A and B are shown apart, each in its own frame.
Chain A
Amino acid sequence: QLQLQESGPGLVKPSETLSLTCTVSGGSISSSSYYWGWIRQPPGKGLEWIGSIYYSGSTYYNPSLKSRVTISVDTSKNQFSLKLSSVTAADTAVYYCARRGTDRWHWYFDLWGRGTLVTVSS
Chain B
Amino acid sequence: AIRMTQSPSSLSASTGDRVTITCRASQGISSYLAWYQQKPGKAPKLLIYAASTLQSGVPSRFSGSGSGTDFTLTISCLQSEDFATYYCQQYYSYPLTFGQGTRLEIK
A residues contacting B by CB (< 8 A) are 46-49, 60, 62-64, 96, 98, 100, 105-110, 112-115
Contact = CB atoms under 8 A, between A and B. Distances in A.
Contact of A106 (B43, B44, B49): B49
The 9 A-B residue pairs whose C-beta atoms are closest, nearest first, are: A107-B91, A108-B34, A112-B43, A49-B96, A47-B98, A62-B95, A108-B49, A46-B100, A110-B46
B64 to A, nearest CB: 12
Given A63-B1, A107-B32, A108-B34, A49 B97 contact: yes
Given A47-B44, A63-B1, A112-B43, A107 B99 contact: no
B85 to A, nearest CB: 9
Interface residues of B, number: 23
Contact of A46 (B32, B55, B95, B98): B98
Contacts of A96: 43-44
Contact of B44 (A48, A64, A109): A109
B50 interface: yes
B63 interface: no
Contacts of B36: 109
A109 to B, nearest CB: 6
A48 B1 contact: no
